[in-house]
Amino acid sequence: MKNKFLKTISLILAAAMLSLCIAGCTQDKGGASSAIASQEPKTKVNVAVLKGPTALGMLKLMDDNNNGNAANDYKFEVFSAADQLVPNIVNKSIDIAAVPTNLAATLYKKTEKNVSIIAVNTLGVLSILTNGEEITSVADLKGKTIYATGKGSTPEYALNYILEKNGLKVGEDVTVEYKGEHSELAALVISGEAKIAMLPQPL
């Protein structure tokens, strides 16, 4: 009886060990397959972004790419002005670009409809900031100088629209001075040289 019991235990243990071996082999094969899959070459994608809110939507992808978790091999290039991107998009050295919507429309026409808009975002990212001036409404901007960035682009159109809808005309009721880069304007606000400024997030 004792020998029969020991034999039964031995058979159960042997079966258990065999199951573990099979499971281990299966996992190894799966691991090998995963390793082979992960070694497949990634598609190289050249991405251009602008400093400021235009690039914010790319931050997660940038982080994933730096950590090796992105589906493709992305190469990011950051530009300070939208017009710097145009030649690169036209000659197709850039695959994806985050640009102002008005530039996207211009490029669509310039490339004879050879570009596509895949997303429109970053609404509500412009703010009027003051340093020493008391501004509580758009009407309070009358007779003032506003410093801004984005001349010839979405920020200028948005500002002109808001001023116009509030009965203020640029050049007559309000003066607007444009700077080349957001960081340059932010420095002027901090120093107190620019009392009123329109800046995008995250500045």
Domain assignments of the chain as residue spans, ordered by start? 44-110, 126-200
DSSP-assigned beta bridge partners for residue 47:
76, 96
Mean pLDDT of the chain: 80
**Does 3.40.190.10 match the CATH number of domain 126-200?**
yes
pLDDT score of 122: 65
Distance CA 84, CA 103 (A): 11
**Using one digit for the tens of pLDDT, what is the confidence trace for 121-177?**
766 788 999 998 889 999 999 999 999 998 888 889 999 999 999 999 999 999 999
**Using one digit for the tens of pLDDT, what is the confidence trace for 97-109?**
988 877 888 888 8
